[in-house]
Amino acid sequence: MERFAYTDAATIADAVSMLKTKGASVLAGGTDILVLLKKGALLNPPKKLVNIKNIHGLNFISEDAQGLTIGAATKLSAIAASPVIRENYSSLAKAAQAVASPPLREMGTIAGNICQEVHCWYFRRSFITGSFFNCARKGGNGCFAIKGDNRYHSIFGGAKGCVAVNSSDIAPVLIALNAQIKTTERVLAPEMFFTGDYKTTVLNNDEVVTEIRIPKPNSGTKQTFTKFALRPTIDFAVVNAATAITIENDKVIDTRIVLNAVAPVPKRLTEVEDALKGNVISGAAAEAAVALIAKNTAPLADNTYKVQIAKTLIKRAILG
């Protein structure tokens, strides 16, 4: 384990102030950052962890006429079990339930899930775990996955030479449900929160996510979340998908369709959405729409199979 100092923040203002210190980083559930420190995977690991999970007002679930608000430190287990979320925001409950294992859901938070680092095995290897790869994401000159073992990497090309994927289960649901992510500095649409750069998110070092806001879905909106993983009870997704399809008079009037674990950032499928709008949902309409997914893919040597999984998940979501 890398050595680090530890401090509790009593308020959001305290946390922001502490995070201005060089080498400081946020600690919430700790299910990702502590693993990275234990593995020695980071070239410049944080020297100080600022615990925010005890700050009053960061752990809550609240619904009003406008929609749902969730505190950033709310545990995934609480989100999965919430009657309000299960009834009105069912895709979010399913996504939270799909994350890892019960012990990890009891520790992990909603903000932590969307802020987690990539799980590329080249990025996460170190001298401690057996081999260190100075990849582009760590400041090196190249991406070892492009010509190496890329079974679980991007099928939509890379970001600045990195083909690691965003592996969050919560992220595609937030985009599909048109959520907003509130931080100590700004309010962001999820599409603007994630970056294809060598950072997972656009957060500044002293910027903290405080809450997630989701507007109440239209009564005619069908939500889905589906996930394909080798071991569904523990593994990260090979591909996951979230959809929100609104139907009026038997025709699709609005839709948001998102894939994840297939690109450096969650991938909204606008061409598929446009193909469905104005149509009655049918097998033929679904097949024609998902055929467009392959149009813009650029799979690597070992991950062509992910294209078919993506098409299948989206087709099932449309027809389900």
pTM over 0.95: yes
Residue 201's CB is within 10 A of a number of other CB atoms, namely 23
- How far is 195 from 115, CA to CA, in rounded Å? 11
Q: Which two tokens stand for residue 264?
A: 């450096």
Annotate 184-217 with DSSP letters as a single string.
SS-EE-HHHHB-SSSSSB---TT--EEEEEEEPP
Look at the chain and count its residues. 320
- Write down the residue that tokens 């991406």 correspond to: 143
Query: Which residues contact residue 23 at a Cβ distance below 8 angstroms, ignoring those fewer than 6 apart?
Result: 44, 46, 47, 48
Output phi, psi for 236, to 5 deg.
-70, 160
pLDDT along the chain (320 residues), means of 10: 96 98 97 96 95 97 98 98 98 98 97 97 92 91 95 94 96 98 98 92 98 96 98 95 97 98 98 98 97 96 98 97
Alpha-carbon span 152 to 268, nearest angstrom: 19
The predicted structure's pLDDT at residue 159: 84
Rounded distance between C-alpha atoms, residue 191 and residue 266, angstroms: 8
pLDDT at 233: 87
Question: Which pLDDT score, from 0 to 100, does residue 36 have?
Answer: 96
What is the C-alpha separation between 261 and 299, in angstroms, rounded?
Answer: 13
CA 49 – CA 228 distance, rounded (Å): 33
Tell me 296's DSSP state. G
Instruction: Determine which helix (DSSP H) or strand (DSSP E) holds 33, and give its type and residue range.
Output: helix 33-39
Note whether 221 and 245 are within 8 A (CB).
yes
**CA separation for the pair 30, 205 (Å, rounded):** 17
C-alpha 50/C-alpha 319 separation (Å) is: 45
Query: How do the residues of the chain divide into helix, strand and coil, expressed in percent and rounded to 5?
Result: 30, 20, 45
Our measurement of the distance from residue 117's CA atom to the centroid of its chain's CA atoms, rounded to an integer in Å, reads: 10
| Three-state DSSP class for residue 63 | strand
Domains assigned to the chain: 5-54+125-140 (3.30.43.10)
**CB 91, CB 8: distance < 8 Å:** no
How is 7-24 classified by DSSP, letter by letter? EE-SSHHHHHHHHTSTTE
* pLDDT at 239 (0 to 100): 98
Going 275 to 278 to 284 to 287, the CA torsion angle's sign is: positive
